[in-house]
Structure 1
């Protein structure tokens, strides 16, 4: 097997970081103009796509072409769908309550504070979580059984995330269900099918990269994504915002918090 091209990979890292900076700079400019920094959520998925495109271009002639194409397409489909979904959901809206709470008591200039508390942390996370894609683009050797397993993981995760988002969107459009709890479809088996799907997508991308050395060294990247979704900002903040709804306590008691399983009987 051809050795991993460390020099080429190292030379590409600053360009991947620059892609993140450019995406965040454009997003910040749009946010200041619109007066709401929640547009950062729209840029989250496309930011990973920008890193994948840059890494794909710079790895030409260095990494395995099949793996490169897989990582590019799977990252792009995931990121562009997520960006479009959040963008359509937030179209014409106001600042997200989470950002209002964070920036409402900002010391000094609100936009400068947002740069430190929103854009810088999310940019660092974006770069770190995307490392399996960056490393995998330069990995040599053909795609084996672990890479194929990664594709299967990605497919399961993408379906959970996309279908879960669609079901929630249909639920919110029904005036008769306003103020109630979505407990049907995928939401019957996990309280967060979209977050679970997101975690499985990035586990799958890691497996594709880990199919060839040194992709396995990027294991902390999907671990950070899973921890963030399940224990830091995804699940906990959503459940805190939902806790006031009638029937939500019973829903929590009956339904898995993250990994899907049949609901418990009350």
Structure 2
């Protein structure tokens, strides 16, 4: 992994991708003001990831290996647009997200400027930071090797857990007979959080594709998957959701037999 990162082009591209993420989020903020609901920012997150990947693909022309550029762009666009479409379907017809409502309730005065600072601008910065692996992967000329294929395979595992988990959870939540129960079928039988585990695999898969470009690209790309792993496992992901789920009947038994994050067969009672 010795191929050098095209630093000048990469640095220039960072400015353009920051502007791309910012424009997506500002456009979403304007839409939210028109709809009087800020939960649309969750939909914009996936779209912003896809937009950053496409802009980087165009900017990296002539600086990176075409195979890696196509691979990492394609995987990112598929993941980002799938996420945006899923959240849009899930939130259709609903009002404000309770988490967002609770946060905006703390706003001093007018909550819209507060939402702009604490939600939209922060989200734009996170999109830019977290997609450093996607950006770095496109600015190295080393041909594709085993690291890239391993990363794509790990990404596919993550997407599988996300898609299947979401597909099974939606009808479960919609069935009145399942109200108050805990989903424990399919991938939910192997891990209490297939969606978060899927995200984990997607981010580390993209990191491996960046590693395929060389040591410099790998070094630039290491922080985002580490940060995402901390958030998913110990931060705003698994920990907060389980705090909410703990009051449900049967949760303790489910937690005792089902893995908290990494999939495994359930323990016997």
**TM-score bracket relative to the smaller structure:** over 0.9
Residue 226, structure 1, aligned to residue 242, structure 2: no
Contact 1:136–1:208 (Cα < 8 Å) also in 2: yes
Cα root mean square deviation, aligned: 1.3
| CA pair 102-157 structure 1, distance change in 2 beyond 3 A | same
- Distance of 1:204 and 1:107 partners within structure 2: 41
In the other structure, the counterpart of 1:177 is 178
In the other structure, the counterpart of 2:218 is 216
In the other structure, the counterpart of 2:251 is 248
- Distance of 1:215 and 1:155 partners within structure 2: 22
Residue 81, structure 1, aligned to residue 82, structure 2: yes
Deviation at residue 265 of structure 1 after TM alignment = 2.3
Residue 150, structure 1, aligned to residue 151, structure 2: yes
- Distance of 2:59 and 2:211 partners within structure 1: 20
Q: Deviations over 1:190-235 (max 9, x none)?
A: 1110111011011101100111222211111111111111211111
Unaligned runs of 5+ in 1: none
In the other structure, the counterpart of 2:263 is 260
In the other structure, the counterpart of 2:123 is 122
List structure 1 runs of 4+ shifted beyond 4 angstroms: none
Scaled by the length of structure 1, the TM-score of the pair is 0.96
Contact 2:161–2:195 (Cα < 8 Å) also in 1: yes
Q: Deviations over 1:70-112 (max 9, x none)?
A: 0110000000000000001101111111111111232111111
Contact 2:200–2:228 (Cα < 8 Å) also in 1: yes
SS at match of 2:161: helix
Q: Deviations over 1:30-73 (max 9, x none)?
A: 11222221111111111111110110000011100000000110
Residue correspondences, number: 266
Deviation at residue 121 of structure 1 after TM alignment = 2.4
- Distance of 1:30 and 1:251 partners within structure 2: 41
